[in-house]
Amino acid sequence: MAIWNIETPIEDRFRKKLCAGDSVSLSGVIYTARDAAHKRLIEALKHGDSLPFDIRGQTIYYMGPTPARPGHVIGSCGPTTSGRMDAFTPALLAAGLSAMIGKGERSAEVKETIKKQRAVYFITYGGAGALLAKTVRKADIIACPELGAEAIMRLEVEDFPVIVANDMHGGDLFEQQLARYRRK
């Protein structure tokens, strides 16, 4: 397992090298979107409308922020369960999304689409939202402010810690770990 420091958007040449289980430190811009925002993104794609950001090559973090305390950029910003976005993910990957961050396993369809679209799915540390917030340098709502915590945000992060869960080669960290414990 490798340890990577990668700038976003993540270039294809780096995504090719990533393998399930690799630790990655992301720096650059990532976008946030949860269930309600995903529905709106999919509706925009269906109607041929433009999205609030150019999705090609970007990373979406499935995150639920809390309000920022005075003097802080963002409140706690831990991951939410990725499986809730599985119905929307294939269309977003087909539109050019290249990476996702969340927690938990993905469906078989999403894992196949990750391979087909040469994308990557990262997981990050659930229960560590306050620590993850320390990596956020700037946070701006860019769309759907009426959704509150589910608004689409643009985050600038530095050394945001993630682990490759599903790579473009079909590697699956969850399956690897289950197999490892079955052998013991």
Q: Is 169 a catalytic residue?
A: no
Strand 23-32 to 152-166 pairing? antiparallel
Residues in the chain: 184
Contact between 2 and 20 (Cβ < 8 Å): no
Nearest to 99 by CA among 117, 113, 119: 119
CB atoms closer than 10 angstroms to residue 12: 13
Considering the candidates 38, 47, 72, 169, report the single residue annotated as catalytic.
38
CA 178 – CA 184 distance, rounded (Å): 10
Which residues, in sequence order, are bridge partners of residue 7? 27
Contact between 163 and 18 (Cβ < 8 Å): no
Annotated catalytic residues are 38
